[in-house]
Structure 1
Amino acid sequence: MNHSAPATLADQPDLSRFADVRSWIFDLDNTLYPRHTNLFAQVDVRIRDYVQRLLDLPSEDAQLLQRDYYRRYGTTLRGLIVEHGITPDDFLEYVHDIDHSPVEADPRLASAIARLPGRRFIFTNGSRLHAEKVMARLGLGPEFEDIFDIVRADLLPKPHPDTYARFLSENAIDPTSAAMFEDLARNLEVPKALGMATVLIVPRGTEEVLAETWETEGSEGAHIDHLTDDLGVFLETVLSGIPAA
């Protein structure tokens, strides 16, 4: 890919790089399921409610603080730990106590992931239990070797470089033969610097997306190798170019 030009859905770069990938690393929320499922909106509301209850704030002030911590610390949880010294268990249990039924089974995605050569991982700033519930709804599970969640990350979220280092070390992954799939461009900067192929999952072209402005920043950066609005179709395209074992 010529990094002087941004990746676009209409102008995908050469996919041959994926022939050498042996570790496939997936974010969870808004990556393995599409953003329009709106599952994370439930989590967002419960985070706001938690902050409001914890700090005895009006709803609007709690939401502003939640957003501030999310942007500055990577997760609201990290901000609450640093600024207020909370312990994570109650927070994680409360904010992920949601209705997972909006996530629908995705046989096409499950089949594509199962056929990827090598090892598969989930690397999320959420909790393991939340990841397992999402995976069950999607029809995923045994294909993945590990779920590396925020607790495994010692509560230090992506995009902190130490968290990527911990993940790679614990799973003995060579980043130069890895690919990472994410819905936040800033979470792909470190992977690209380490030598991974990077894929940004973007909303469908006609979708109305309610997201923080900063969340969409960087999608045209040189650290993004590929863009896709359909992960299953993208993986099928990648697989079509990988010689059968």
Structure 2
Amino acid sequence: MVFEDLYMQGQRPKYDCLLFDLDDTLYPLSSGLATSCRTNIEDYMVEKLGIDKSKIHDLCNILYKNYGTTMAGLRAIGYDFDYDEYHSFVHGRLPYENLKPDPVLRSLLLNLPYRRVIFTNADKVHAAKVLSKLGLEDCFEGIVCFETLNPTHKSTVSDDEDDIEFVGSRTFAATNNGSSSEIFDIIGHFAQPIVGLGLPKSPIVCKPSEAAIEQALKVANIDPQRTLFFEDSVRNIQAGKRVGLQTVLIGTSQRVKGADYALESIHNIREAIPELWEADRKSEVAAYSGNVAVETSVTA
């Protein structure tokens, strides 16, 4: 029995789940959706939040860098808005027609003998539309998206342990209507830092926060030690690595710190990680071995 147990352990696949980012991972950056999304975010900030157009470029860069998404950053510094309205504005005008069915990727995914889950910062409507356009809507077990990690519109900064924590010793209090008593001047903060004044934290949970990744793994019942994480973002890859995931950086063949693999395109997965298909062969060998009769000697 000991030999049999060791043998079966040796046949066990290295992974039991593949976790995929969505945008610019399952389709190329050249599709133009990312560029259009950035433009829509900037338009929203000007048209809906009344932010001075001359500050938009710098503000977007700072918020994205420090909060994971511009949306999370906007909420952190004091802007209150409806999440669904924001997503509708930002994603509703994207050139989805640029995305075409991808039968090659579909075949690759369906032939991978593992759980397959999407993990995106985007909302569920956008995720469903992208997967539909790519012809991949039935290739995944489920989707961990914005609504999964942010199930309600939290109008105030919460002390809940699941919220994203950011470095800083002081935050701004929110008023009853959800808007800060003043908008935190984050551009000025970085131009002339004040000792002891840290960044306000965001009520929005999203990558690359390790807490967000851990929460996603918990929700989807995923063991990080037996999961391969596909992402186009270096910082998301590195955050995933810190929580125990094996990682694949998409969009470049140059490996960076935190990436176990680097692929120019998701289509290169079979050539770059052939071990993913070895699970099928091992299971076939195990099944065959289990049917082989073993002759034993019996004494009277």
Go from structure 1 to structure 2 and tell me whether the alpha carbon gap of 1:112 and 1:20 turns closer, same or farther (over 3 Å shift).
same
Go from structure 1 to structure 2 and tell me whether the alpha carbon gap of 1:138 and 1:235 turns closer, same or farther (over 3 Å shift).
farther
What displacement does 1:233 show?
2.3
What displacement does 1:56 show?
2.2
8 Å contact from structure 1 (residues 31, 181) kept in 2:
yes
8 Å contact from structure 1 (residues 119, 145) kept in 2:
yes
Go from structure 1 to structure 2 and tell me whether the alpha carbon gap of 1:130 and 1:170 turns closer, same or farther (over 3 Å shift).
same
**In the alignment, which of 110, 115, 136 is matched to residue 119 of structure 1?**
115
Q: Counterpart in 2 of 1:96?
A: 91
1:159 and 2:208 matched: yes
Q: Deviations over 1:55-89 (max 9, x none)?
A: 32343422321222111110111011111233312
CA distance in 2, matches of 1:149, 1:107: 24
Q: Give 1:76's aligned amino acid.
A: T
What's the C-alpha RMSD, in Å, of the aligned pairs? 2.0
Q: Counterpart in 1 of 2:256?
A: 220
Structure 2 unaligned spans of 5+:
1-11, 151-203, 284-300
Structure 1 unaligned spans of 5+:
1-17, 206-218
8 Å contact from structure 2 (residues 144, 216) kept in 1:
yes
CA distance in 1, matches of 2:253, 2:95: 23
Q: Counterparts in 2 of 1:147-186, with a 5 A limit?
A: 147-154=143-150, 155-186=204-235
Q: Counterpart in 1 of 2:266?
A: 231
Q: Counterpart in 2 of 1:7?
A: none
8 Å contact from structure 2 (residues 113, 277) kept in 1:
no
Q: Counterpart in 2 of 1:214?
A: none
* SS across alignment from 1:55: coil
Q: Counterpart in 1 of 2:44?
A: 50
Deviates more, 1:28-37 or 1:142-151: 142-151
What displacement does 1:240 show?
4.4
CA distance in 2, matches of 1:44, 1:118: 34
TM-score (norm 1): 0.81
Q: Give 1:177's aligned amino acid.
A: R
What displacement does 1:106 show?
1.1
| Identical residues among aligned pairs (%) | 31
CA distance in 2, matches of 1:203, 1:129: 28
Q: Counterpart in 2 of 1:212?
A: none
1:40 and 2:76 matched: no
Q: Give 1:220's aligned amino acid.
A: V
TM-score (norm 2): 0.67
* SS across alignment from 1:152: helix
* SS across alignment from 2:97: coil
* SS across alignment from 2:239: helix
* SS across alignment from 1:192: helix
Question: Which runs of structure 1 show a deviation greater than 2 angstroms over 4 or more consecutive aligned residues?
Answer: 54-60, 235-245
8 Å contact from structure 1 (residues 80, 86) kept in 2:
no
CA distance in 1, matches of 2:141, 2:266: 19
* SS across alignment from 1:125: coil
What displacement does 1:204 show?
8.0
Q: Counterpart in 1 of 2:238?
A: 189
CA distance in 2, matches of 1:149, 1:240: 28
Q: Counterpart in 1 of 2:179?
A: none
Q: Give 2:86's aligned amino acid.
A: F
Q: Deviations over 1:134-164 (max 9, x none)?
A: 1111110122111111121223110111111
1:129 and 2:129 matched: no
Q: Deviations over 1:157-214 (max 9, x none)?
A: 1011111121111111111110000001110123212322100012589xxxxxxxxx
* SS across alignment from 2:207: coil
What displacement does 1:95 show?
0.3
What displacement does 1:226 show?
0.6
8 Å contact from structure 1 (residues 49, 62) kept in 2:
no
